Every structure is written in structure tokens, then in C-alpha cells.
Chain A
Amino acid sequence: MFFIQLRDLFKSYGPVKALNGLNLEVPKGSLYGLLGPNGAGKSTALRIICTLLEPDSGDVEVAGRNALLEEKETRRRLGYVAQDVAIDKILTGRELLQLQGDLYHLDKKYKKKRIEELIQRLEMHEWIDRRCGSFSGGMKRRLDLASGLLHEPELLILDEPTVGLDIESRSVIWGLLKELRNNETTILLSSHYLEEVDELADEMAIIDKGKVIASGKPDDLKKELGGDRVTLRVREFSNEVEAESVRKLIKNINGVSNVVVNQQQGYSLNFLVQNNDVLSKLSGHLSKENFEVFALSHSRPSLDDVYLQATGKTLMDAELELAGKRDFKLENKNSMR
């Protein structure tokens, strides 16, 4: 059974298409990761699920209800931890949690008990009675997470929950998320940290240019690549013509598949090999055609390889490419009501 279903979601900000036919199904009780570079449309999708934003078209179902029509019921069921932590600097951490409890209409006794539980669980007791303005990024994020969990939501939505956090805060948050997952809370988490999605997610989707380009269990996605990942550079700074020649050469070698020229990384070649014997054959073919091997790395497939396979570039390259194109002023404006 799916707890969240998104169908054909489209959303544009002026000329910028944030979502371009996004389809997503999140199983109940799972920890689902959305992986993609900044600007891929992850936050927009999450804001639509949270009822903060209306799509231009498409359907959104949360717990079997139309979230676009039954907004209040949807809000009751979810906890949202936004990418930019929004806290009132003048209030203390405890006061912020109390306010949050009142916004969710919690009973006074239950609110107090729940706040204490979360203070203990997220190790906030030492600083919870200080004003939020004095908190570090990690403290703010933990407090924000506690706010999102205060009313024990069936669905927890986290937008880049560990960006810029210290190791201790990240570890506390990861620990809690694993615990929640075991308690049947459905968690939807967006991240551009590969290791975070790899470590935490039961299932995941890769989002690129506003739509899902691959989805499934992280291990299955890696296995589907069908072998080990090799990155080859025939020169430190190769060019397109040379890279294409090498690609044509090695794609015909038995046991080599999915050959991709990675333009962003100096026209290196990324491909899969079935076993180590293929690498020996590869060296022979290259030297026969007078190509040198400047660098060759060989590794088990990672989610970055899954991303590379699906998009033709690494996540880091996609980040860099999008960073130059993003209009932060427009994004800020769009995130304001």
C-alpha cells in the first residue's frame, strides 16, 4: 500500500519548470529517499505534498486522500522539516515546541510529556531552555526535527535534513530516523548526499529536471547496473573526439557495458565491467590502438553510478551545472507566501 502517490505533477515558476510530470509512489512505513541535485525539483515536490504549494496540474494523494482538496486532514497527518530551518530566535527551544504543540492542538499534559520525550531522545536537554538565536545549525535542525515529530505524525517529510551539520547532529538525526522507520512511520527524505540516501532509504527515486528518472531499492538499482564501475582517462585533459574514439573502441569489448563519456570530468569514460578479466582485455585493446591509460579507477557501483547511468553525469557535476543556472532571488520569492 502506498502512503503517498504523486501523479503527473507539473509546476512552473515563470519560465522555470520545477516539476515536469513527476510520478512517485511511497510505500507505507518506508523510509523513502529523493535524490537529486539542488534545483532538480525535490523541494517543490515536498512543498506540494505539505500543502504549502499548489501544482499547476496533477494529483497528490496522502494516506488515500486527495491532499489538494483535504488540506487540513493532510496537515494533521504529516510533520514537515524544511530545508531552511525557520525558528523564532527570541523564543527558547522549549517555548518553540510548546507553540508547535498548540498549533497542533495537543492536550496540555500530552504536550508536556511529548516535549520531554523528544528533548531526551534528541539530546537537547542542555540547551533547550536557551533562546533559539544562540543555537548552532545542528541544534536548530534537531529542534526543527523535534517540532516535526511532536504530534507523532504518520508521515514525516524532511527536506535536506543534514545539510551542513556536524557529525554529532547528523548521527543523532540518522539514529532517530532509523528508529522511526522501524516504528512504521512513513518518512520521505530529500537529499543530495548519496551516502545519506544509501544508508537510510528503503526505497529511493532519482529526480532530474523535475521528473523521476530511476526508482527502486538502492541495492537493486546498483545491482541493475550489472557490474563494477570503471572510470578511465586516456589523458589528463582529453577532448571530445578522442573520448568518442575510445568509447567506440571499448564498447565492443565483451563484458563492457554502459559506456558513457563524462564531459564534466575532462572527457573521462565511465563504464561497467563484468569481472576483472575484462580489465586485462581492455588494456590490450587500448595499447593496440596507441591509447595510453592516464588514470583508471575500479569500484563497486554506488548511487552516484546509478545517477551517472541515468543522466550521463555525476551528481556533483549536475550540482555544479545547475548552480550557475539557479535564480536564488526567484527561488526565495517562490518560497515566500
Chain B
Amino acid sequence: MITTNPSLQKEKQSRNDLNEMLQETSALTWRLFIQLIRRPSTLFAGILQPLIWLLLFAALFSKAPIDFLPGGSSYGEFLGAGLIVFTAFSGALNAGLPLMFDREFGFLNRLLVAPLSSRSSIVISSVIYITSISLLQSFAIMATSALLGYGLPSLGGLFLIAITLLLLVFAITGLSLGLAFVLPGHIELIAIIFIANLPVLFASTALAPISFMPEWLGWIASINPLTFAIEPIRMAYQNSVDLNAVLINAPYGEVNGYSCLAILLILTVGLFFLIRPLLNRKLA
């Protein structure tokens, strides 16, 4: 039967577009997961590295003075939140690598010559993949730290952790995908990942509270996006999910839980608008 009603046709077309987009996005995401299943070393390394950190750093600072940490928690408890965020951050920072390899080896051209319903599918599949992996790795850290006796957050806390990680992962994945299109090759991208990874960790509250840092480092840590993700998660581990509570005593003032999440949201949206024209141009 031929549909003559223009609004019905339009609706049918948009439904087709949606189905097509779902088909291509799920196929592209599945491809990334097949790669992971057949080359699981990156997944294991992503989990193993923070676990080693958890064990070594927790042991290293186990005899730190009792007033060193806020709330009298053990260093292992303190460190857990930092490593969860660091794991998600590292994973998201690597998000651009598969795309960069697709650019370099010409596979991206195969995708671009196909009549994709929307070329956003290429980016969306990367975001879905990296988000899943980052969450998986983070939950592996949480499970290990629970086994080490550093406790588990409540259900509300888990929800808060998931929201916080999602915001951070979206933001950093967007940044990494943007870099994958701007930089000339994977060597440059890997160099940036190397340069950014550890300094960003050390210049956050992942390993030590702001009060323990020199003033200049305290300033950097207070504007570091990782800090805004770490502190809500640290709060979730203390089983008191109160977003009105002050989480960061920054040199410029106090920052509560809502503000931390709002800053992460602004960062995510800001980065999205920043890289969107670039992605539109590169994927046009």
C-alpha cells in the first residue's frame, strides 16, 4: 500500500532512520567488543594497574599520621575513590585510539563511504564501548577494594558513583575522540595520553587531600576535573550521600556535592560543543 499522507510518510521515514541508526551503531559497537574479546590484554591491564596501585599505595601510606586524612579513614579507603576515577579517566582518555587506528589504516573510509543514517553512529559506538569498559573496570576496583576490607557504598552511593563516572567518562571520551581527529597519528595521541595521565592524577585529590598539598598544587587540584569526580565517590564510600555537604575545601572556597556534579556536567556539555564542529567537519 502506498502511503500518501505526508505526515505519515515523514513519521515512517524517521522510524526507518532510527532503525537504520540502531543497526549501524550496534554493529559498530559489536565490532569494538569483538576486538576486546579477542585482545583482552588492554582490559586486564586497565584493571590490573590500578589494583597494583591500590595494594602498593595503601601499604606505603598505611602508617601515615592519623590526622593526615579527613574523617579518620584508612589510606586504603581514601585511595579507593581516587583509583576508581583514575581507571575511568585512563580508559576514556584512550577512547580515541581505535578511531585513530581506523583513520590511519583506512577503515574509517570504509565507514564513511557507507550510507550511514548518521555518522554520529561512529562516535556513539565508541562512547558506548568506552563507557561500558570504564564502568566494568571501575566496578572491578570496587569489588577488589571491598575484598581488601575497604567497604562498599550503599545503593544510593552506587548510583551516585555511576552518575559521576558517566559524566567524567563522557567528557574525557569526547575530548579523546576530538584529539583522534585533530592529531596526525597515533604516536602523537599516545604521547598526549602519556603526558596527561599521571600528572592529572597527581594533581588531584586521588592520592592525598588538598590540605596535605602545597598551596600551588592545592589550587591545581581544586580545579582539576578528577577532583570533582573523586570527592562525590569518596563521599559515597562513607555511606552518607548528602550532595549538600561540602566535599572540597578549595583555596577559592567550599564546593558541595551538587556543585561537583554540576561542574562535571558543564565540562561534558562544554567539551561536546567544543568538539562537535570538529566532528561535523571531519565526518561530513
Binding site for B on A (CB under 8 A): 50-52, 72-73, 75-76, 78, 80, 82, 84, 86-88, 90-91, 95, 98-100, 102-105, 131, 147, 333, 335-337
Contacts and interface: CB of A to CB of B under 8 A. Distances in A.
* Chain B interface size, under 10 / 10 to 19 / 20 to 34 / 35 or more: 20 to 34
A196 to B, nearest CB: 22
Contacts of A73: 115
Contact of A86 (B39, B109, B283): B109
A90 B105 contact: no
B254 interface: no
Given A50-B113, A86-B110, 18 more contacts: A51-B112, A52-B109, A86-B106, A90-B38, A99-B28, A100-B110, A102-B23, A102-B24, A103-B24, A103-B115, A103-B116, A104-B114, A104-B115, A105-B24, A335-B109, A336-B103, A337-B108, A337-B181
Interface of B: 19-20, 23-24, 26-28, 30-31, 34-35, 38-39, 103-117, 181, 184, 282-283
B129 to A, nearest CB: 14
Contacts of A90: 34-35, 38-39
Given A90-B34, A91-B31, A75 B113 contact: yes
Contacts of B104: 336
B189 to A, nearest CB: 13
A105 B115 CA distance: 9
B117 A337 contact: no
Nearest to A79: B113
Contact of B27 (A86, A103, A147): A103
A256 B172 CA distance: 73
Contacts of B110: 82, 86, 100, 103, 147
Contacts of B34: 90-91, 95
A99 B24 CA distance: 8
Given A147-B110, A336-B104, A88 B24 contact: no
Nearest to A104: B114
Contact of A51 (B23, B24, B113, B282): B113
B184 A337 contact: no
Contact of A72 (B24, B27, B115): B115
Contacts of A50: 113
Contacts of A335: 106, 109
B107 A88 contact: yes
B107 A52 contact: no
B181 to A, nearest CB: 8
11 contacts: A72-B116, A75-B113, A82-B110, A86-B106, A88-B31, A91-B31, A103-B28, A103-B114, A105-B117, A337-B282, A337-B283
A75 B284 CA distance: 13
Contacts of B27: 98-99, 102-103
A147 B23 CA distance: 17
